[in-house]
Chains A and B, each alone.
Chain A
Amino acid sequence: MRTLTVGKKPFAANPWLRVCEGLTLIGFLLTLNSMWHTTGLSFTLFVVLAVPSLLLSATVVLVLLIDDLRKRYSLFELEEYEPGEVVFRQGDLADRVYFIQKGEVEVIRTVEDKEIVLARLGPGEFFGEMAFFVSDGRRTASVRTSTPVELLALGKENFTRLLGAVPAVQKEFSLKATERIKAHGR
């Protein structure tokens, strides 16, 4: 499956969640109005505005949740990026580990509004695992593409299972994470 992903964001920061909050607030306020005193106008507003708003927001949130689950449990899903796109940002909640198939990416850390390029990674290398070893599930650096890139994304849940099932793989990833910490700090 080929997925073109632009500006990926974690679940909580998704702007559609804000839209849904607005829609449900309207829906609940109109419901209060209708239940408090049912008149032709209040019930019409409930039927015509509140019910569609609530149904729409429920549908959007369900789609977002399913999409989020799909990402967490993804098994080497292919993602394509154009040059200069941000794969994830420092501080984002981590949901997957990436393996580079084609192209090159830059690992960037922002310190006092200055961008420091920590590493340039190419085909055969991986990134995004640090969040699962050393931080509280948040990205320790940003990653930006410098050429057209193809990445294989492994969801958090499957990555964790893989580490648990194959100790050699866990050792390999731990060593790499330790190496990176030594080289660049947290």
Chain B
Amino acid sequence: MAAWLSSFITPVQPVAPLPYEVDPVLVWLQHVSLGSALAGIVLGLFLVVGQRRLGENSLKWLCVGQFVLLPMLVIAMGNIVGLQQAKKVEFCQSCHRTMGFFVNDMQDPNSQALAALHYRHRWSPEDQCYACHASYGMFGDVRAKWKGLQDFLKYYTGTYKIPVRMHAPYVNAECLKCHERTPKFTDSDYHAGALLEIRSGELRCLDCHGPAHAEQVRDENSHRR
């Protein structure tokens, strides 16, 4: 009884993240960009208030720092941090009217959709949306971010339509990049017999193993263009 009561009284201690849950480089970059932005604001206010007390040369050097060096640092670090954070599931979920449905379905313990199975069994241990929706290689990442930016603009200008559709049909390469050389894939006689068709996209993985997500309900009011 006492233990039960104390559970209401004792403040819950936040659980410290384990080392593998934190990317130290990302945290460091985040601190640098936060610090630079704060320094920029403070320096900007100082330039507004104390400009008259500064000598000509000091003012110019401060201007170089305030308007050129700090912004360059902030832009570089901010983009790196932002693009890394953009891989996280929570980031995708923040466009909740379009992506919320898919993330909820993926995290639903009763869902049998392919994305939910990958999430539940931790076949993709982290950044689950990004793991399947970014193509392989450097340009795959660039393409994913570029399309993502277009999606943001559509979302925040309200020019999207529900159910949302992918920019292009889902290609088998996104599945094969993880599965092709696994014993489960190679041991299957069907896969071995149809490997060429699978690789060329003639046979789609999702035709047999889909659907990847539950079907999003149509919303006539979602397209405001």
A126-145 near B? 1/0 per residue, CB < 8 Å: 00000000000100000000
**B135 at the binding interface (Cβ < 8 Å):** no
Q: How would you classify the secondary structure of chain A's contact residues: helix, strand, loop or mixed?
A: helix
**A11 at the binding interface (Cβ < 8 Å):** yes
A28 lies within 8 A of B74 (CB): yes
**B177 at the binding interface (Cβ < 8 Å):** no
**A162 at the binding interface (Cβ < 8 Å):** no
B94 lies within 8 A of A41 (CB): yes
A54 lies within 8 A of B74 (CB): yes
Given A57-B67, A137-B56, A35 and B34 contact (CB-CB distance below 8 Å): yes
What is the bound-complex CA distance between A46 and B80, given in angstroms? 12
B41 lies within 8 A of A21 (CB): no
Q: At the interface with chain B, which of A58-66, A164-172, A174-182?
A: A58-66
* Residues of the B chain whose Cβ atoms lie less than 8 Å from the Cβ of A65: 60, 63-64
**A74 at the binding interface (Cβ < 8 Å):** no
* Residues of the B chain whose Cβ atoms lie less than 8 Å from the Cβ of A51: 75, 78-79
Given A21-B44, A57-B67, A57-B71, A38 and B81 contact (CB-CB distance below 8 Å): yes
**B101 at the binding interface (Cβ < 8 Å):** no
Size of interface on B: residues with Cβ below 8 Å to A: 43
B95 lies within 8 A of A20 (CB): no
What is the bound-complex CA distance between A104 and B38, given in angstroms? 51
What is the bound-complex CA distance between A41 and B99, given in angstroms? 13
* Residues of the B chain whose Cβ atoms lie less than 8 Å from the Cβ of A62: 68
A5-31 near B? 1/0 per residue, CB < 8 Å: 000001110000100110011011101
**A32 at the binding interface (Cβ < 8 Å):** yes
| Closest B residue, CB atoms, query A136 | B55
**A47 at the binding interface (Cβ < 8 Å):** yes
A31-43 near B? 1/0 per residue, CB < 8 Å: 1101110111101
Q: At the interface with chain A, which of B119-127, B150-158, B161-169, B185-193?
A: B150-158
B28 to chain A minimum Cβ distance, whole angstroms, is 12
A19 to chain B minimum Cβ distance, whole angstroms, is 11
| Closest A residue, CB atoms, query B48 | A21
* Residues of the B chain whose Cβ atoms lie less than 8 Å from the Cβ of A43: 82, 85-86, 91, 152
**B131 at the binding interface (Cβ < 8 Å):** no
A61 lies within 8 A of B63 (CB): yes
Interface-central residue, A40, A58, A68, by most chain B CB under 10 Å: A40
| Closest A residue, CB atoms, query B92 | A40
What is the bound-complex CA distance between A10 and B51, given in angstroms? 13
**B111 at the binding interface (Cβ < 8 Å):** no
